[in-house]
Amino acid sequence: MIETRNKKQKKNLSLIKFVNRKTIWSFLFVLSSLLSLSCKSEFKDNSDKFKQGVFEIPAGDNFVKETIIRKDSIQISKYGDNIDTLSIKWKNNFFYTLKYINPKNSLQEDPMYIQINKIKEDSYDFTVKIGFSKFNKKGTIYKVK
């Protein structure tokens, strides 16, 4: 009788382990299915729209008002009475490099590395670093056209 009881207990334990494993796997499957179905991406990658057009950096925070025209691999920057032409190379939608085509001083000989940090409707926040220096500055560019 004790032996029969032990066999029944072992069988019940095996059944409980099987049911627990099955329940856990079923739960994980249902949970992962719900997560994958409910994860609809609200983010629309419109960063490509900043590669061409007319832009403006407003005056303030050590920036002078600057108007920028981008087309293909060229960027024309107008600030005050100065107009500069730069080549622009996009590494991806969030990082690009600017280099003066006709540098006027040694500082303009170094490339500028721009990282896009946050995209808004018609603007983006950026960080610029000049060459391999420790200089970096943050700002915002607004798309005008």
**Region for residue 12 given its phi and psi (left: phi exceeds 0; alpha: psi -120 to 50; beta: otherwise):** alpha
**3-state SS, residue 104:** coil
How far is residue 84's CA from residue 80's CA, in Å, rounded to a whole number?
11
User: Whole-model pTM?
Assistant: 0.65
Indicate whether 85 pLDDT > 60.
yes
Eight-class DSSP state of 63: B
Indicate whether 39 pLDDT > 90.
no
Give Rg (Cα) of the chain: 30
Q: What is the per-residue pLDDT across 104-139, written as a single tens digit (0 to 9) for each? A: 898 899 999 999 999 988 999 999 999 988 889 999
Eight-class DSSP state of 106: G
